[in-house]
Chain A
């Protein structure tokens, strides 16, 4: 589904990604862990097409297409979704209008007819239950005045509504208490299927107790320095990020 080959990127003059290689197949959940400043969120932003980052080398194929050639909205319509670390507030635009607009853009791209209001509401209610999203939040402006946990849940609601092929969760667990974490992870688990894939970016092992990955990658200094099964996350948690420096120097 996703093949990243020697991806390099910078912001302004600072090189951040220094040659990332990664392959994700349908049905897989990959986790990316790493210390602050290792490039985790940059990788998420670059894949989504954030204009603040410049790709300086490498290639990314998404379903066989050159992802880096596509505009951000085209990537989204092709089925790439980013759950933001810091979801943005859009005053005066109701969450419902926003969801309907996004969904219809993606459906139109896939040659599907627009939903009737009734069909849309049915789908929305279904997905709201899935992520235990409070109905009153749907009628409010996008993320405006939402608590940190509500914003993250709203990201998962959008994920559920838009049903992408590949979902990137950028530190979705940050700022969540344990109940909210359980709800968010529960939502993601219900959305997992053999046709979609997840790239879970996190600083802590805790989230991976709930969303169990197939592969764990450790990102440090803009490169993936180690990949392994889910136990790698536990090992990292136990030994701390200092251990990585040893790994880096020995490899």
Chain B
């Protein structure tokens, strides 16, 4: 074995930067899951009767459903009775940011998400979700001037019940899969956004998710509706403290794009990945789906996945409107004993619809990284096209990269293209960079960033550099 192989082999357990906990008084529901839990959450949130009924229906689905068996890893045993389904900071969030608990402001400051509007990244409105509830949403008034609604899910239920009722569960129905059913039954908060006809949302909308409490799950729901001819760019980020036990995060995201509307949804996922032996970490079981409901609509998913001990998510697009466009750009980096089984579904229903999938997997350590994607062109979807490029990069020789493409084309005038590559970081590349004064760790980070640049370039500018840094930090200790 050459010297470089040794360098690539030696794995260190570097610090997870966001592993601190916040000490704050919490209102926590007792552990356990039954109809009363669902009623408890709904009551806590003062929800209308229709929503409680919707939740209870979902809960009945949940009881009948089984764990998926098709994924490329052994499904961990979930004890749904051993989780608390509701945890909220005790001090109520009030009307203005001045009234947010300083402890919470401090927490988000540490995470690099100042909630003080003066200090915010200009042009980004943030909804900050701490465990089960939204603690603050910034720039609401400014957005309201243009008719843009951006608030926590709980507020949306109260203030815009018609919109919520109209779209909730229309893209990801409660019976879609067991985690979606669970979420529908017990979701506690999340973000809601509505962009009215013809409005180009003047700033990036963003939700920042933080799990803090012990033995809790986080079940948030995001619903984004872009009306005719509107545009919105949305970003979510996530972190959690380092804890020895696993924490379940089962979110649902629904996107609706009407005629000629465009939604750009970006995720930088950095949940605690567990330690080097695979102890602890977040189970990230998320259902994300968008529908291009109208003609000429466009939905674009971009994700940078570096955290979680298990990532199970397939942000998808249903291309219902004619001439609609779906995109999926993904970088998934796994190391130590992390598992990622991620990809997308592009369901072509309308005519002349286009989809594009660019997936970049990076595996290091003992990790397993799978791309799973479905491209389905239905019989009436004439003149449609899909292009898929799916690349895997291996660092060291104990990790795995897997590709599971499912391709189905029922219309002879439509075209599907699939390209896949697997490569290793060449020792020659590392030596070349070494010879220019760059150490092996930085060299690998540079090579990986270069490899992922096609996807990273799709992120909003403010976050692209963050994501590059995150990739470099996540690799820290994977080499040298």
Contact = CB atoms under 8 A, between A and B. Distances in A.
Given A92-B454, A93-B449, A48 B435 contact: yes
Contacts of B435: 48-49, 72-73, 75-76, 81-82, 84
Interface stretch (A96-104, A176-184, A194-202): A96-104
Interface residues of B, number: 26
Contact of A102 (B428, B438, B451, B453): B438
A45 B433 CA distance: 14
Question: Could you tell me the dominant secondary structure of chain B's interface residues?
Answer: helix
Contacts of B436: 76, 98, 101-102, 105, 158, 162
B451 A92 contact: yes
Given A51-B427, A101-B442, A92 B449 contact: yes
A81 B435 CA distance: 7
B426 interface: yes
B4 interface: yes
Interface string A59-98: 0000000000001110111000110100110111100011
Nearest to A50: B431
A229 B431 CA distance: 34
B68 interface: no
B188 to A, nearest CB: 40
B449 A106 contact: no
Interface in B413-434: 426-429, 431-434
B69 interface: no
Given A51-B3, A51-B427, A92-B454, A76 B437 contact: yes
A91 to B, nearest CB: 6
Contacts, number: 82
Contacts of A52: 2, 427
Contacts of A84: 432, 435
A101 B451 contact: no
A92 B453 contact: yes
A76 B454 contact: no
B150 to A, nearest CB: 34
A160 to B, nearest CB: 13
Contacts of A3: none
B438 A73 contact: yes
Contact of A105 (B3, B438, B450): B438
A73 B439 contact: yes
Contacts of B438: 73, 101-102, 105
A106 B437 contact: yes
A49 B431 CA distance: 9
B452 to A, nearest CB: 7
Interface in A134-183: 141-142, 158, 162
A109 interface: yes
Interface string B300-333: 0000000000000000000000000000000000
Contacts of A48: 431, 435
Contacts of B433: 90, 98, 102
B447 interface: yes
B449 A109 contact: no
B450 A88 contact: no
A141 B432 contact: no
Interface string B1-37: 0111000000000000000000000000000000000
Nearest to A45: B431
Given A101-B446, A102-B437, A90 B2 contact: no
Contacts of B3: 51
Contacts of A76: 434-437
Contacts of B452: 92
Given A51-B2, A51-B427, A105-B438, A91 B432 contact: no
A90 B437 contact: no
A245 to B, nearest CB: 34
A84 B440 CA distance: 18
B431 A51 contact: yes
A71 B432 contact: no
Nearest to A86: B428
A91 B450 contact: yes
Contacts of B447: 90, 93
A48 B446 CA distance: 21
Nearest to B434: A72
B437 A73 contact: yes
Contacts of B432: 84, 87-88, 90
B476 to A, nearest CB: 16
Interface of A: 48-52, 71-73, 75-77, 81-82, 84, 87-88, 90-93, 97-98, 101-102, 105-106, 109, 141-142, 158, 162
List of 9 A-B pairs having minimum Cβ-Cβ separation, nearest first: A92-B450, A93-B450, A102-B436, A72-B434, A51-B3, A92-B453, A105-B437, A76-B437, A88-B432
Interface of B: 2-4, 426-429, 431-440, 442, 446-447, 449-454
Given A73-B434, A84-B432, A98-B446, 12 more contacts: A49-B434, A49-B435, A72-B434, A73-B435, A73-B439, A76-B434, A92-B454, A102-B437, A105-B438, A141-B450, A142-B450, A162-B437
8 contacts: A73-B434, A88-B431, A92-B450, A97-B446, A98-B433, A101-B436, A105-B438, A162-B437
